[in-house]
Structure 1
């Protein structure tokens, strides 16, 4: 299984700057042909590194309320439910869940209506407390740095390196550190599928 090389990183950096950039422009920057760039982007999507191409709205030009940062202390074991509920809200832009059970949300809401947002999307029994801060400004600057491709083995949890395996089952990619992990996982997957 092939990992990321400098050309892949260059393509991702250029797409992060402008996801609508033509492959021919990217090809000039990275020293490949446009079809080769297209093939690499397809491979990055198959690997799950590139999940989609998104739109970045400048909310300062729209009237939709005020931008807020909401920090929520969830009841023990309920942070994932709070995160999931808020992730579906139109007003919410980002949702983060920390290991200590805190959920942080950026959203744009009408003034003084954060409690309505929470009430509409979260079981308030799952919330211990929350704090709201007005956002003065924000900037989203995703970057790749020198990141290496290192998914977790779907069977044992070890890090998968370039010698690992990738299998697609029912349209989803699974990564394995070795052939035996892949075999055990696929066998178990298929037996569960047959029993369903």
Structure 2
């Protein structure tokens, strides 16, 4: 399957940030935060779902809060990492696999109910891949990644074209009202179109 990548705008990124924090956030709430209508937010989310950017909404379980759950990183060095990665992926305890073909190295993130289960996996791997170097590392820190783009804490829209402004807006006061634009050209076009008088 060919995956088509899509450039996300600042509003898409903001929606993803909100969904990452709470995937059950109401559309109306998201809409008010990003400055769109609820139907427009729904359309953007559906588009991101269709493109495979948003996979599913599920409960986040902090496995570290469960008594005995162990998270480990296994570093495996051996020729033929693709085959090993495929075999490793079939194991239910393996959460993520990173492969470096250049170094013949695999890093596997493993979650298990206890240390014994991890040791069992390591022993199985040592039997299946006798010449492999396997290093068992405790995972001590983990942070969930949240999508970011510079300058999207507050979303500005151009008062001329309605587009989202990435970065700093061009700000002009017109008849006592502060207006934001992409740049000087949009501001001048807005003033000309509306035939408004520019004030300081």
Normalising by structure 2, report the TM-score.
0.60
Show the 5 A alignment for 1:22-61: 22-61=26-65
Query: Cα–Cα, structure 1 residues 85 and 21, in superposed 2: closer, same or farther, change >3 Å?
Result: farther
Q: Shift of residue 131 of structure 1?
A: 0.1
Q: Shift of residue 42 of structure 1?
A: 0.7
Q: Tell me, yes or no, if the aligned pair for 1:72 and 1:104 is still in contact at 8 Å.
A: yes
Matched, 1:9 2:20: no
Deviations 1:10-69 (A, max 9, x none): 111211222222222111111112121111011112222223334422112213442211
SS in structure 2 opposite 1:21? coil
Number of the residue aligned with 1:106: 109
Which deviates the most, 122-131 or 105-114?
A: 122-131
**Residue ranges of structure 1 left out of the alignment (5+ in a row):** 147-196
Structure number, greater radius of gyration: 2
- Aligned residues between the structures: 144
**Structure 1: which 4+ aligned runs deviate by more than 6 Å?**
none
Q: Tell me, yes or no, if the aligned pair for 1:65 and 1:108 is still in contact at 8 Å.
A: yes
Q: Shift of residue 108 of structure 1?
A: 2.6
Number of the residue aligned with 1:66: 70
Number of the residue aligned with 2:133: 129
Normalising by structure 1, report the TM-score.
0.61
The answer to which structure, 1 or 2, has the higher relative contact order (CA under 8 A, 6+ apart) is: 1
Q: Shift of residue 140 of structure 1?
A: 2.1
Q: Tell me, yes or no, if the aligned pair for 2:75 and 2:136 is still in contact at 8 Å.
A: yes
Query: Cα–Cα, structure 1 residues 130 and 54, in superposed 2: closer, same or farther, change >3 Å?
Result: farther
Number of the residue aligned with 1:79: 81
